[in-house]
Structure 1
Amino acid sequence: MFGSLAKKLFGSANDRRLKAYHPKVAAIAALEPEVAALSDEALRARTAQFKAELAAGKTINDLLVPAFATVREAAKRVLGQRHFDTQLIGGMVLHEGAIAEMKTGEGKTLVATAPVYLNALAGKGVHVVTVNDYLASRDAEWMGRVYRFLGLTTGTIVHGLDDEERRAAYACDITYGTNNEYGFDYLRDNMKYDMGSMVQRGHAFAIVDEVDSILVDEARTPLIISGPLEDRPELYMTIDALMPNLEADDFELDEKQRTVNLTEKGNERIEQMLGTAGLLREGSMYDAGNVTIVHHVNQALRAHKLFSRDKDYIVRNDEVVIIDEFTGRMMPGRRYSEGLHQALEAKERVQIQPENQTLASITFQNYFRLYEKLAGMTGTAATEADEFMDIYNLEVIEIPTNRPVQRIDDDDEVYRSVDEKYKAIVRLIEECRKRGQPLLVGTTSIEKSEILAQYLVRQGYKQRDFSDPNAFASLYDGDQGTPDEKVFAVLNARYHEQEAFIVSQAGVPGAITIATNMAGRGTDIQLGGNADMRIKVELGDMPAGPEREAAEAGIKAQVAKLKEKALAAGGLYIIGTERHESRRIDNQLRGRSGRQGDPGHSRFFLSLQDDLMRIFGSDRMDGMLQKLGLKEDEAIVHPWINRALEKAQQKVEARNFDIRKNILKYDNVLNDQRKEIFEHRRELMAQESVADSIADFRHLVIDELVRAHVPENAYPEQWDTAGLHAAINDILNLDLPVEDWAKEEGIADEELTTRIIEAADGNAEARAASFGEEVTRQIEKAVLLQTLDNLWREHIVTLDHLRQVIGLRSMAQRDPLIEYKSEGYQLFGELMRRWREDVTRTMFRLQVMQQPPEQPPLPFMTAHHFDPTTGEDEFAAAGSGFGQEAPALAISDAAAMPVVAPEDRDPNDPATWGRVGRNEPCPCGSGKKYKHCHGQIA
């Protein structure tokens, strides 16, 4: 009660924060006449003036008001768009490193120009992050006109660029790109062997568009770069041979949950067999050094006890081919991950194909926390405000709309069955079509879109293939506003221009658009249609002149008439076919209507058979509704149901947040180690000579060898001189008279260490002299970096395997996270010890040819990012390899094909297509994704 009273008297925290920006907005407005009077050249010259002021000691904050006024005027002249006051406030929020929540249609793309320009003046580079390549290219070109007008450079990072193109884009003042590309470039940079070949130049400031989609929805799955692992068939075969020796009480099998685990007795039996086979490195099977062995044992156990030949897979042509459990079809080219497929190959005694190894990985959570300043913008972030603050230290500020929202949001309608729900939706669609009201129907999945499409088809509607941009012509020809033909569009292909055109025209009177996941599509639904998009598509390359001007004027006039008809019909109607787990996603859909003060309407339809309703006890509600006499095709509508659903969604969101937070706690262990390893690499690459590091490694290794074989305060006769002699011979490749030295009277371990160091240093100097100074420098740096990289890759796999089995520690009343941190720390210490030892061993055994060594090539790599909702790899078979000589390793036979530029593909000849990404538009021109068209698996 007191909280609400204080809010009425003093305003909310958000209101007070917004109030603080008003004086700056007024100051920008006061400068407007002065700036507007400047010529184009004088306006452009302000950029150099601002940079000079920064060099003279002013701060970025000092320049906010004049810089924002400059951008506002430049946008007016170049784009014909003047920043609203609310857009300036949004820009200030972004500049301060916070999240600006702005409703759809408020012009977030333009909002970013002011803080981007201001921060780019510092010369450190500003990154603007989008959700797909199309938006990155579109926004860089569109807003780049403002930046270029003001004398700043703009670059774009999209898939398919080589290192030189990427380096040039990152060298620009402002760089647009996707979250995936930024993350992968960071990982690849930290696999390079010299500073000059790296493409990124730092992480000063980033603005993330659709920040909730990138930093929340996609935060659960890491970006992964993988490469082929060295072949280890003997390990798989050895472990496989142990499986038939297990008895029924050695494991617990749960076929329903598809899990199998060793019992305590089984653990003892396997441990004994592994020891006999010589596979255990030390102590117990579950010690840190043996986690990889445990992982392979678990996978072999799954292969034998959970997977059946001719049911889960078949053996054909000496290959294990997976059978799809839903369709019963073979899926050639697809392979189980994490060594499971190799375990099945060992079980069936067919050729074991090499496993892919993770070369580098990072989550978006940890990548974006690298930036000195991070900001974001979206239409829906307030519901995740706690997560943004907790994980990213980002405050969410709600920016008011430029005009009041006129949209009417109806209470949800709840039906008993899915069939009744879809029938009610179809009835409403028909009502909207008859009065010429544009309609957007949002679904939670592609499958749900197709189900609704079938209902519409049964009612006489026709689904159009919108690969032809003129497919919408019947909706606006003759300015009728209401199409005679009953047609609808289904949008479930993503990330290409055709989709943007369809979305932009979804506001045409009578248009019916069914779409899955409306977040991040980057194109406003404007009532009457988007004139600029129509001009671009319909007029294409028509040369400038009177004819084009007349055509443009005709399109604009037609759109204006259609907008009046759409407004008269009530604006855009939003229908939600189901509540999403997250209310934020529902709000994104709702926010597509009512842009810039337009009228609109929204309503969600639910059934007791929907996933969210079913999870939260719809059985009891169904029984209650039957007793109350709810008839077929009747709905229950009440604000209480809305509130109950919102609470249910909050519970699901809280659970998902806990999952992401828990994942982050584990990933932070790897992230801390990753940062240290990458820092080591950068320091080494930046040094002209690493001779001091090599010498330090050598001396530390000798100290460790002496300590291992010469106990503290022990007499010389208690020293393990034979072991020390053998270790020195193995690592330093030196035959030193250690036994004789130990017999000398009065010798101490310090003296012994000194003699070994002197001998090793002398040998190292002689070897360096024989190689030559230049060659030695190259060798030392290459050995340091390559050895570190190889050990780091092994370490990533070991930590991954440890993470999979660490949960079992909870059965012993031990916290798995603490155990993981502890053992991860031990494993990292072991990695550093092995690095020193392996580098030292290599340097003392290396033989150099006459030719100086060239920079070692990077291993062939493949990019992966798994969709957290579908589990599908966005980059699978999408030509995502980064190597020069080898084909991409992906989950399709098409992966072995070359990448062919789209313009070089003949739509009628699949032989000319090369490797096509599963999520790319099919080259045949159907408008479908390749995986749903010619790329369908038979």
Structure 2
Amino acid sequence: MVSFGGLARKIFGSSNDRRVKSTRPRVEAINAMENELKALSDEQLQARTAKFRADIANGASLDDLLVPAFATVREASRRVLGMRPFDVQLVGGMVLHGRGIAEMRTGEGKTLVATLPAYLNALEGKGVHAVTVNDYLARRDSEWMGRVYKFLGLTVGVIVHGMSDEERRAAYACDITYATNNELGFDYLRDNMKYERGQMVQRGHNFAIVDEVDSILIDEARTPLIISGPLEDRSEMYNTVDAFILQLEPSDYEVDEKQRTAIFTEEGTEKLEGLLNAAGLFKGESLYDVENVAMVHHVNNALKAHRLFQKDKDYIVRNNEIVIIDEFTGRMMPGRRFSEGLHQALEAKEHVQIQPENQTLASVTFQNYFRMYTKLSGMTGTALTEAEEFGNIYGLEVTEIPTNLPVSRIDEDDEVYRTVEEKYKAIIRDIREAYAKGQPTLVGTTSIEKSELLAARLRQEGFTDFEVLNARHHEREAQIVAQAGRPGAITIATNMAGRGTDIQLGGNFEMRVSEELGDVPEGPEREAREQQIRDEIKRDKDRALAAGGLYVIATERHESRRIDNQLRGRSGRQGDPGRSKFFLSLQDDLMRIFGSERMDGMLQKLGLKEDEAIIHPWINKALEKAQKKVEARNFDIRKNLIKYDDVQNDQRKVVFEQRIELMDAVSLTETVTEMRRDVVEELVAKHIPETAYAEQWDVAGLKQDVVQYLNLDLPVEEWAAEEGIAEEDIRDRIMQAADAAAADRAERFGPEVMAYVERSVVLQTLDMLWREHLVNLDHLRSVVGFRGYAQRDPLNEYKSEAFELFQSMLGNLRQAVTSQLMRVELVRQAAEAPPPQAPEAFGHHIDETTGEDEFGESGSIDIQQDARIVAPEDRDPNDPSTWGKVGRNEACPCGSGKKFKHCHGAFV
């Protein structure tokens, strides 16, 4: 029975078919221009760029220019690269230009597709960012596709790790900039830690084309990019709180070992409040008041350290350090630390030296970073399974682009074995058969560990000629993947390894030329060698085709169908034959989680013998359902995370926009005057409430605060004693005195120096308070989940308390800025001092699949980004611009005799 929806699709086509069909008239119009453009000289073709720019200046829209611009890029690509975009590639380019995601099979030429919308959108002069997953691909694509852009008169830049600010600024100023998602995100964060507008490197977020969009916007979107720096020493706080936990009784807390949670009872909370109060660490009326967010975090960590973490099971003490023990392998993990203060709580518990915490200086998720772009698009081989998430979070519609040639790959049903041992035997048998007939084989594994395990088994079976790939060294990775299509080649890879590089049957000509002929100069000898390589590749391709094309063997189902489809899609590019098969066992993670014990019992009853497999389409369907469940759960987690992150993101945008306004303003006198007057209003309102009688006024407190915040010794008591004086009179007198003192200071300093001082004080104070605010938000987020026990929505609680904390931060900003500016004095050397330096910082992005920090031990990030290594003798002590990158513990090049971190590297 055909459903009504199925019948409608048969008659009218699916919505995807209709979207693809709607591009046909423009594809035909581009094709109609082909002969006309072929007849043009190079100069005439190049001149079209200037004409398009003139048309835009005269009011033409990018949509008006799409047909002639795409036709121009197609012809330029044919001349420069010898590659003519197919009609389906034109369709993919239109989807990208129209703010969509183009799902294109592996080998369909996504890299070339991006040149079409990139060129068209770059004509506006606002910049286009082409986003890749690693530095190697950013470099490769900028050089390869850059030839087309440069031919047409556009500028091309590339951003990779280790570049200086000047190099980055120049790259962002180009018409088209290639960069990784990490570098773009970190540059955005670093820009918003700079103290002068001219130090910023990015020039806005106009249009981004994200390659491997599913990997960047979904797989990596759950964990934020973080720039962190060391906090001041808080070891005394940890030791004090630790001592309090030892004074609690078992009735003061509840521990759930299964859920790994520990919470205080009402009696325990009251007892803690008393202890904290006696130690002067308590504010307000309740431990759970917003002012005590950080303290709640500390006491919760201390309770967890004592009641959930066991010495010699969860950690050991070695060489006066806490070393974590991996709960799965039982191995020690030196160098790894628990985050958010838990490690420090364990150090306090075991009375070892407490290492300083790292504080978040700035952070952003890829979800929120890429949503800043005016126009966003992406491409990948697999996006349809996540179409709902792309639509909900990014407002992007996924369009499946037809292949240029029909797919002739055979996707076989899964083979399911009872044990892992039986599964591996079957995999090695199939590899042996494929190798014997010269068929190239790609074996996909779900982790680095499993790829190494399979490699060890192959060696035991006598195989020596194979490659193991595990997503660590991207350049080497691309070379291995590029040659994985040679006859009889065996390549073991993690499922994600080598993305962005095609597996071409017979081998990849460009890769072989760069590897084998790198030192051979242009000339007859090189041409002869190139021809020889071409002939070898053609012979090898014929052998691989005769053997059945690339055989993809998957050793396990991933919890996401998308990753499985990516692996399958490696085979059968551009109409080539191919084959794919998944080998599973009931001991695999996915099978185990979804009730394989029942299936194991059933298979034994049915008489399934050792080394026999069960093969049936029903199993494929059952696994697909299981994968859909996991995908839905992961989507819910990401949706929930973004709701929390949106709260911080709204505040982040306000602070970052405010910073730019402060840097752009010629003078901040009006702003700081307003802040000062607000502070006076708040002080008077606090000590002389409107409805209070004169005898209820806190005159002594007001006088004390006037000294503290305004640096003024005023006769407040005498004023208050005057007959019939109102609080408005006192407020006006304080305000006049404060304004007069500020005016006197401004006159002594002069307008230029005062403007510099005001900007420095406001920006640095804002940054300091924003960092403290981020710590408070992290602490609040870690404890707000407990509100669910009281039938209160944790998200709403987080929103309201985050707002209160933000308002409190703004109040503190007014007071701190006013207090500093009313005390600041001019020092003669100030004019020669270097601009304020940002703090020592480290970059982090945790890989969701491995739990590893992508930046590991080398995550140090120099905010000022001068990465040059300069010999000490080449540094001019009087010119910091000649110093290059200076180590934090090096002697300061200025000759003061202090360490750099205590001298010019100190955070002012």
In the alignment, what sits opposite 1:736? Answer: 714
The 5 A counterparts of 1:503-542 are 503-518=481-496, 521-542=499-520
Asked if the contact 1:210–1:519 (Cα under 8 Å) also holds between the matched residues in 2, the reply is no
What amino acid is the match of 1:861?
A
Residues 300 and 316 (structure 1), Cα distance of their counterparts in 2 relative to 1, 3 Å cut: same
* Structure 1: tracts of 5 or more residues without a match: 463-486, 888-896, 901-913, 916-938
1:276, distance to aligned residue in structure 2 (A): 1.6
Query: In the alignment, does 2:531 pair up with 1:553?
Result: yes
Residues 578 and 320 (structure 1), Cα distance of their counterparts in 2 relative to 1, 3 Å cut: closer
In the alignment, what sits opposite 1:868? Answer: 848
1:899, distance to aligned residue in structure 2 (A): 12
Provide Cα deviations, 1:738-788, integer angstroms capped at 9, x if missing partner.
233334444333333222211111110001111222111111001100001
Asked if the contact 2:132–2:212 (Cα under 8 Å) also holds between the matched residues in 1, the reply is yes
| More divergent stretch after superposition (833-842 vs 495-504) | 495-504
Asked if the contact 1:291–1:801 (Cα under 8 Å) also holds between the matched residues in 2, the reply is yes
Partners of 1:190 and 1:611 lie apart in 2 by 43
2:862 to 867, 870, 882: 882
Partners of 2:339 and 2:146 lie apart in 1 by 42
In the alignment, what sits opposite 1:280? Answer: 282
Partners of 2:15 and 2:263 lie apart in 1 by 52
The 5 A counterparts of 1:237-256 are 237-255=239-257
Asked if the contact 2:110–2:379 (Cα under 8 Å) also holds between the matched residues in 1, the reply is yes
Partners of 1:569 and 1:790 lie apart in 2 by 65
1:800 to 768, 773, 778: 778
Asked if the contact 2:444–2:552 (Cα under 8 Å) also holds between the matched residues in 1, the reply is yes
1:881, distance to aligned residue in structure 2 (A): 2.6
Asked if the contact 2:49–2:123 (Cα under 8 Å) also holds between the matched residues in 1, the reply is yes
| More divergent stretch after superposition (190-199 vs 234-243) | 234-243
Partners of 1:399 and 1:761 lie apart in 2 by 67
Partners of 2:611 and 2:296 lie apart in 1 by 56
Q: Indicate the SS of the match to 2:538.
A: helix
1:718, distance to aligned residue in structure 2 (A): 3.3
Asked if the contact 1:132–1:495 (Cα under 8 Å) also holds between the matched residues in 2, the reply is no
1:459, distance to aligned residue in structure 2 (A): 1.8
Provide Cα deviations, 1:560-594, integer angstroms capped at 9, x if missing partner.
11111111111111111111000000000000011
| More divergent stretch after superposition (102-111 vs 406-415) | 406-415
Provide Cα deviations, 1:120-153, integer angstroms capped at 9, x if missing partner.
1111110010000000000000000001111111
What amino acid is the match of 2:753?
V
1:319, distance to aligned residue in structure 2 (A): 3.8
1:622, distance to aligned residue in structure 2 (A): 1.1
Partners of 2:322 and 2:577 lie apart in 1 by 58
1:430, distance to aligned residue in structure 2 (A): 1.1
1:325, distance to aligned residue in structure 2 (A): 5.4
What amino acid is the match of 2:262?
V
What amino acid is the match of 2:716?
V
In the alignment, what sits opposite 1:850? Answer: 828
Query: In the alignment, does 2:748 pair up with 1:761?
Result: no
Partners of 2:526 and 2:405 lie apart in 1 by 34
| More divergent stretch after superposition (367-376 vs 314-323) | 314-323
Asked if the contact 2:484–2:491 (Cα under 8 Å) also holds between the matched residues in 1, the reply is yes
2:448 to 446, 449, 468: 446
1:239, distance to aligned residue in structure 2 (A): 0.9
The 5 A counterparts of 1:133-144 are 133-144=135-146
What amino acid is the match of 1:683?
E
Partners of 1:351 and 1:652 lie apart in 2 by 42
2:598 to 595, 620, 642: 620
In the alignment, what sits opposite 1:565? Answer: 543
Q: Indicate the SS of the match to 2:35.
A: helix
In the alignment, what sits opposite 1:681? Answer: 659
Provide Cα deviations, 1:380-422, integer angstroms capped at 9, x if missing partner.
0000000000000011011000011001111111111111111
Partners of 1:111 and 1:140 lie apart in 2 by 14
In the alignment, what sits opposite 1:420? Answer: 422
1:597 to 566, 575, 599: 575
Asked if the contact 1:490–1:513 (Cα under 8 Å) also holds between the matched residues in 2, the reply is yes
Partners of 1:558 and 1:899 lie apart in 2 by 48
In the alignment, what sits opposite 1:364? Answer: 366
Residues 652 and 329 (structure 1), Cα distance of their counterparts in 2 relative to 1, 3 Å cut: closer
| Structure-2-length-normalised TM-score | 0.93
In the alignment, what sits opposite 2:380? Answer: 378
Asked if the contact 2:481–2:498 (Cα under 8 Å) also holds between the matched residues in 1, the reply is no
1:502, distance to aligned residue in structure 2 (A): 0.8
Partners of 1:651 and 1:899 lie apart in 2 by 55
In the alignment, what sits opposite 2:339? Answer: 337
Partners of 2:728 and 2:211 lie apart in 1 by 61
In the alignment, what sits opposite 2:901? Answer: none
In the alignment, what sits opposite 1:261? Answer: 263
1:306, distance to aligned residue in structure 2 (A): 3.6
In the alignment, what sits opposite 1:663? Answer: 641
The percentage of counterpart residues that share the same residue type is 68
Partners of 2:170 and 2:721 lie apart in 1 by 65
Q: Indicate the SS of the match to 1:241.
A: helix
What amino acid is the match of 2:271?
R
Provide Cα deviations, 1:320-364, integer angstroms capped at 9, x if missing partner.
444555666655444332222322332333332221111000100
Asked if the contact 1:385–1:395 (Cα under 8 Å) also holds between the matched residues in 2, the reply is yes
In the alignment, what sits opposite 1:727? Answer: 705
What amino acid is the match of 1:28?
I
1:618, distance to aligned residue in structure 2 (A): 0.8
1:61 to 60, 63, 68: 63
Asked if the contact 1:86–1:400 (Cα under 8 Å) also holds between the matched residues in 2, the reply is yes
What amino acid is the match of 2:839?
P
Asked if the contact 2:157–2:170 (Cα under 8 Å) also holds between the matched residues in 1, the reply is yes
In the alignment, what sits opposite 1:893? Answer: none
Partners of 2:94 and 2:725 lie apart in 1 by 71
Asked if the contact 2:477–2:498 (Cα under 8 Å) also holds between the matched residues in 1, the reply is no
1:608 to 586, 600, 608: 586
In the alignment, what sits opposite 1:206? Answer: 208
1:173, distance to aligned residue in structure 2 (A): 0.7
Partners of 1:884 and 1:192 lie apart in 2 by 8
Asked if the contact 1:133–1:158 (Cα under 8 Å) also holds between the matched residues in 2, the reply is yes
Q: Indicate the SS of the match to 1:828.
A: helix
| More divergent stretch after superposition (780-789 vs 719-728) | 719-728
Partners of 1:220 and 1:409 lie apart in 2 by 32
Asked if the contact 2:586–2:600 (Cα under 8 Å) also holds between the matched residues in 1, the reply is yes
Partners of 2:321 and 2:602 lie apart in 1 by 55
* Structure 2: tracts of 5 or more residues without a match: 872-884, 887-908
Residues 319 and 578 (structure 1), Cα distance of their counterparts in 2 relative to 1, 3 Å cut: closer
Asked if the contact 1:213–1:520 (Cα under 8 Å) also holds between the matched residues in 2, the reply is no
1:37, distance to aligned residue in structure 2 (A): 1.1
| Structure-1-length-normalised TM-score | 0.90
Asked if the contact 1:437–1:571 (Cα under 8 Å) also holds between the matched residues in 2, the reply is yes
Partners of 1:637 and 1:324 lie apart in 2 by 37
Q: Indicate the SS of the match to 2:829.
A: coil
| More divergent stretch after superposition (411-420 vs 118-127) | 411-420
What amino acid is the match of 1:704?
E
Residues 582 and 314 (structure 1), Cα distance of their counterparts in 2 relative to 1, 3 Å cut: closer
What amino acid is the match of 2:476?
Q
CA RMSD, Structure 1 to Structure 2 (Å): 2.1
In the alignment, what sits opposite 2:397? Answer: 395
Residues 10 and 534 (structure 1), Cα distance of their counterparts in 2 relative to 1, 3 Å cut: same
What amino acid is the match of 1:675?
K
1:254, distance to aligned residue in structure 2 (A): 4.5
Partners of 2:787 and 2:608 lie apart in 1 by 51
Asked if the contact 1:775–1:852 (Cα under 8 Å) also holds between the matched residues in 2, the reply is no
In the alignment, what sits opposite 1:810? Answer: 788
Q: Indicate the SS of the match to 2:466.
A: strand
1:265, distance to aligned residue in structure 2 (A): 2.9
Asked if the contact 1:210–1:520 (Cα under 8 Å) also holds between the matched residues in 2, the reply is no
Residues 635 and 872 (structure 1), Cα distance of their counterparts in 2 relative to 1, 3 Å cut: same
What amino acid is the match of 1:40?
D
